[in-house]
Amino acid sequence: MNDTQYPNDFPTLTNEQICELAAAVCDDFGGDLSRADFIEKLRLLLEDVPGFEAGKVDERFIELAWTTYSGRTPYS
């Protein structure tokens, strides 16, 4: 059996982890960022995380993190 994991085999983030990342952006950069600034800062935090290099972040993940950060209910 081959248990080797390749870069694209990383598990997805849980809702709790997404909330923690949104909170980290808020803690590090403040809670009043525009959507564009939030996305830039989130990508900056994810730059060195395997599987989430800048430019390779799923847009659904970004949207969920943004809704968490901005205090909106997801998918409302």
Domain assignments of the chain as residue spans, ordered by start: 13-70
Q: What tokens appear for 29 in the block? A: 């950069």
This prediction has a pTM of 0.75
> Per-residue pLDDT tens for 2-49?
555 545 555 678 889 899 999 999 999 999 999 999 999 998 888 877
Residue 53 has pLDDT above 50, yes or no: yes
Q: Which pLDDT belongs to residue 76? A: 43
- Integer Cα distance of 76 and 74 in angstroms: 6
Q: Which pLDDT belongs to residue 58? A: 81
Helices 35-46 + 15-29 axis angle, to 10 = 110
Beta-carbon contacts of residue 65 (< 8 Å; ≥ 6 apart) = 18, 21, 22, 25, 38, 42
The closest alpha carbon to 60, from 30, 28, 18, 26, belongs to 18
- Angle formed at CA 68 by CA 21 and CA 38, multiple of 5 degrees: 65
